[in-house]
Amino acid sequence: MGSFYSRASLTEQRRRWKDEGKRVVLTNGCYDLLHPGHIRLMEQCKAMGDVLILALNTDASVQRMKGPSRPLRNERERAEVAQALEAVDAVTFFDEDTPRELIAAILPDVLVKGADWSHFVAGREEVEAAGGKVVTLALEPGYSTTGIVNQLLIQQP
């Protein structure tokens, strides 16, 4: 089970992992409605290193990006679910519109995003400048939180 970290405590823990020679992977997103595509992405991320950090958008950040009806689950619930994932070692929040500041503070060895964000990976420059690697992974076809939400709304009586 993963642990929840504030930004400051995660930055300190990152230093310890680095001293221990652990390869740290970071990915981020809303993870509003967890689905099999998310699970498989986390498993792929974890396979790239020793420690997987999942940075979650705060509720305010999700609303700015996706509108007032989102998130469906509040940030504490989303963090609790994320911490229960076998692949996830650490969970933290970011409130900015992008995780660039968090990524610059953590400087993971590997930064991973879904291929739907390959046009813009926040933190790419900082990670690559520090000698890290940025990876975009293909999304699992047929899985999308927005698609699930739309399907549920269509099915309402």
CATH of the domain at 85: 3.40.50.620
∠ CA(52), CA(53), CA(55), 5° rounding? 150
Domain count for the chain, please give it: 1
Quick one: what percent of the chain has pLDDT higher than 90? 75
| Torsion sign (Cα): 149, 151, 152, 153 | positive
Position 1 confidence tier, pLDDT thresholds 50, 70, 90: confident
Cβ count within 10 A of residue 131: 8
Confidence (pTM): 0.89
Looking at residue 152, what is its pLDDT?
58
Looking at residue 122, what is its pLDDT?
95
Looking at residue 36, what is its pLDDT?
87
Looking at residue 151, what is its pLDDT?
62
- Which position has the token pair 């940075």? 55
Q: Whole domain around residue 61: which residue ranges? A: 3-155
